[in-house]
Amino acid sequence: MKHPIYEWFAAHEADDWDFFLPLNGYPFSVVPPKPETENIIYCTKPHCLHRLVHDLGSKHSFAAIMRSGLPCDDDLDWLRPQVASRKLLFLGDADPADLLTFAWLSEHLTIRYAGLSDALLLQCGVELNDELTIPMSKPEIAALQLVAECLGEMQSRLGPWCSGLLSSGRKIELEALFSFAKCTPSEFECALTSQKG
């Protein structure tokens, strides 16, 4: 039997593009580690993290593995040696698809949540403003039960504001963080890599 998270993505991919199952061999975008790199960020939105890497130039201290959609078992065989002894951090939207992706990865790899949360938004100077949010789709709302089964209550991970959004049928995505951050690229990088989620 397939994993419940995989089954959910497979059953809802046609209804909501957020529940995307990449074909086998669908490429990752990679920012390779330097010899001294300690952190690898797994990000579901390559365009967002590429922007930070560009802004930091040669000063970035993290490596990155980026791709949308739910990884498959074959991806794990590739991911494990890429991470090796480094710390793996997850950066994604505060929405059901990315939270389920984090839950799936955390069952197979040691990974820390560094995705959207009240703490990350505030550390980067983003005001917790409902105008930065968007409504969830019906499949996303229906997926909240599976998110709770896989990850438990969300307030301790996301904070009261981001978790409250989910409860009200809304979400916030990485684009809001990257568009409205009021910190330097170096401060942004520090905020990402220091999250305790």
List the beta bridge partners of residue 62: none
Q: Architecture of domain 4-193 in CATH?
A: 3-Layer(aba) Sandwich (3.40)
The C-alpha atoms of residue 183 and residue 39 are separated, in whole angstroms, by 20
pLDDT at 95 exceeding the cut of 70: yes
The C-alpha atoms of residue 68 and residue 17 are separated, in whole angstroms, by 10
* 26 compared with 167, residue with greater pLDDT: 167
Taking residues 132-139, report their average pLDDT.
Answer: 96
The C-alpha atoms of residue 195 and residue 197 are separated, in whole angstroms, by 6
Sheet with strand 63-66: strands edge to edge: 29-31, 63-66, 39-43, 87-91, 111-113
What pLDDT is stored for residue 197 in this prediction?
64
Q: Where are the domains of the chain?
A: 4-193
Q: List, for residues 65-87, the tens digit of each pLDDT value.
A: 999 999 988 899 999 999 999 99
| Secondary structure percentages of the chain, helix, strand, coil, to 5 | 50, 15, 35
- Strand spans (E) along the chain: 29-31, 39-43, 63-66, 87-91, 111-113, 134-135, 170-171
The C-alpha atoms of residue 147 and residue 30 are separated, in whole angstroms, by 28
What pLDDT is stored for residue 1 in this prediction?
38
